[in-house]
Amino acid sequence: MQQKLIEISVGLLMLAGIAAVTFLALQVSARGFGQNKGGYEVVAYFTNTSGLTDKAKVSFAGVNIGQVQSIEIVPASMKAKVSMKINKDVDYLSIDSSAVIQTAGVLGEKYVAIYPGSEDDVLEEGAEIYDTQSSMIFEDMIGKLVTNYAAKD
């Protein structure tokens, strides 16, 4: 009886451990497990992706609809190719949508915002978003502001 009780409680400990790890895997680090629930990939070419990272958000009208899969340089065009995974249920992005790299707040992380187009055809697996706008670089903006200001005097 005593041994039985010990074995049961050790079994419960093991179960609690497995439950904790499962919780951490699924709820806390959903990446790599939960979020691969299907979707299609689209690409966009940017002249500057400064600050954008893998797994950054892709948002449409402020709603999270996917994430950045990879960022690589295409030597032929001297541009950065950003591959994005868009959730399967978002199947209404028109083919002339535009992609803009934006910043959440002043010092927040970079993400890709998709703006709607007007065509009836929609983006599908492997499609390319042609209309893109690169990262705004804070230092550049300040630089321009300063030169403009100086030119006025």
Partner 1 sequence: MQQIARLGRMGIAFTQSLGQSALLLWMALTAPPDRISREFRRLVTQLYFIGVNSVLIVMLSGLFIGMVLALQGHTVLSRFGAVEALGQLVSLTLLRELGPVVAGLLYAGRAGSAITAELGFMKATEQLSALEMMGVDPLAHVLRPRFLAGLISMPILAQIFNAIAIISAWVVSTELLGIDSGSFWANMQQVVDFREDVVNGMIKALVFGIVITWVALYQGYTAAPNTEGINRSTTRSVVISSLSVLALDFILTALMFGD
Residues contributing to the site for partner 1 (CB under 8 A): 3, 6-7, 9-10, 12-14, 16-17, 19-21, 23-25, 27-35, 55, 57, 64, 105, 108
Closer residue to partner 1 (CB): 3 or 118: 3
Closer residue to partner 1 (CB): 18 or 74: 18
Shortest distance, position 96 Cβ to partner 1, whole Å = 29
Instruction: Give the CA-trace dihedral at 128, 74, 50, 109, to 10 degrees.
Output: 50
Distance CA 85, CA 73 (A): 18
Closer residue to partner 1 (CB): 39 or 117: 39
- The answer to whether 44 and 129 are in contact (CB under 8 A) is yes
